[in-house]
Structure 1
Amino acid sequence: MDLEAVRTFVAVADAGQFQKAAADLSITQQAVSKRIAALERSLGVRLFTRAPRGAELTIDGQAFLPHARELLRVAERAAGSVRTDRRPLRVDVINLRGATSGLMRDFHRAHPEIELDVMKLFEIEEAVAALRSGAIDATFRAVAAPGRPLPEGIESVRVLDEPLQLLTGPGHALAGARSVALGRLAGHRIWMPGIVPGTEWGAYYDDLVAEFGLTVEATGPNFGSDALLDTIADTPALATFMGAHTRLIWPAGHDLRSIPVTDPTPVYPHSLLWHRDNPHPALATLRSHLAAAADRPDATGTWAPGWVLPR
Structure 2
Amino acid sequence: MDLDAVRTFVAAADAGQFAEAAAELAVTQQAVSKRIAALERNLGVRLFTRTARGAELTIDGQAFLPHARELLRVAERAVASVGTGRRPLRVDVIASRVAPSGLMRGFHRAHPEVDLDVVMLFDIESAVAAIRSGAIDASFRAVAMPGQPLPEDIESVRVLDEPLQLLTGPAHALAGARSVTVAQLAGHRIWMPGIVPGTEWAAYYDDLVAEYGLTIEATGPNFGSDALLDTVADTPALATFMGEHTRLVWPAGHGLRRIPVTDPTPVYPHSILWHRDNSHPGLTTLRSHLAATTAGHDAAGTWTPGWVLPR
Q: Give the alignment's TM-score, normalised by structure 1.
A: 0.83
Equivalence for 2:305 = 305
Deviation of 1:100 after TM superposition, in Å, equals 1.0
User: What is the Cα deviation at residue 33 of structure 1?
Assistant: 6.3
The question of whether the paired residues in 2 share the 8 Å contact of 1:182 and 1:212 is answered with yes
Q: Which amino acid aligns with 1:213?
A: G
Distance 1:200 1:80, change over 3 A: farther
How far apart are residue 141 of structure 1 and its match?
A: 1.0
**Partner residue of 2:87?**
87
Return the alpha-carbon distance in structure 2 between the equivalents of residues 248 and 231 of structure 1.
Answer: 15
- CA distance, structure 1, for counterparts of residue 66 and residue 221 of structure 2: 55
Letter in 1 for 2:70: R
Aligned to 1:139: 139
The residue type equivalent to 1:193 in the other structure is P
Letter in 1 for 2:216: V
CA distance in 2, matches of 1:106, 1:24: 53
2:117 aligns with: 117
Aligned equivalents of 2:23 and 2:240: distance in 1? 66
Residues 80-111 of structure 1 deviation map (CA, whole Å, 9 limit, x = unaligned) = 45433322222222122211111122122222
- Partner residue in 1 for 2:165: 165
Instruction: Measure the CA separation in 2 of the matches of 1:18 and 1:220.
Output: 79
SS in 2 for 1:288: helix
- Which runs of structure 2 are paired with 1:67-216 in the superposition (5 Å)? 69=70, 73=74, 75-76=75-76, 78-80=78-80, 82-216=82-216
1:40–1:141: structure 2 CA closer, same or farther, 3 Å change rule?
same
- Give the Cα–Cα distance (whole angstroms) in 1 for the partners of residues 152 and 114 of structure 2: 28
TM-superposed CA distance for 1:57, in Å, is: 6.1
The equivalent residue for 2:2 is: 2
Distance 2:279 2:21 in 1: 35
The one-letter amino acid paired with 2:204 is Y
The runs of 5 or more residues in structure 1 that have no matched partner are none
Where 2:260 maps in the other structure, the secondary structure is: strand
CA drift of 1:235 comes to: 2.5
Contact 2:159-2:296 at 8 Å conserved across structures? no
Structure 1: distance between partners of 2:34 and 2:215: 77
Distance 1:65 1:288 in 2: 46
Note the 1:38-53 alignment, pairs <5 A.
38-45=38-45
State the 1:296 CA deviation: 2.5
Aligned to 1:218: 218
CA distances 1:160-180 after superposition (whole Å, capped 9, x unpaired): 000011112223222222211
C-alpha change, 1:144 and 1:2, in structure 2 (3 Å) is: same
Q: Which amino acid aligns with 1:100?
A: P
Q: Are 1:45 and 1:60, in contact at CA under 8 Å, matched by a contact in 2?
A: no
Structure 2 regions of 5+ residues with no counterpart?
Answer: none
Conserved in 1, the CA contact under 8 Å of 2:8 and 2:25?
Answer: no
Structure 1 residue 238 displacement after superposition: 1.9
What's the secondary structure of 1:207's corresponding residue?
helix
Residue 65 of structure 1: how far off its partner (Å): 5.5
Change in Cα spacing, 1:297 to 1:206, as seen in structure 2 (3 Å) is closer
| Paired residues of 1:94 and 1:120 also in contact (CA < 8 A) | yes
145-154 or 39-48: which moved more? 39-48
For residues 298 and 59 of structure 1, the distance between their equivalents in structure 2, rounded to whole angstroms, comes to: 71
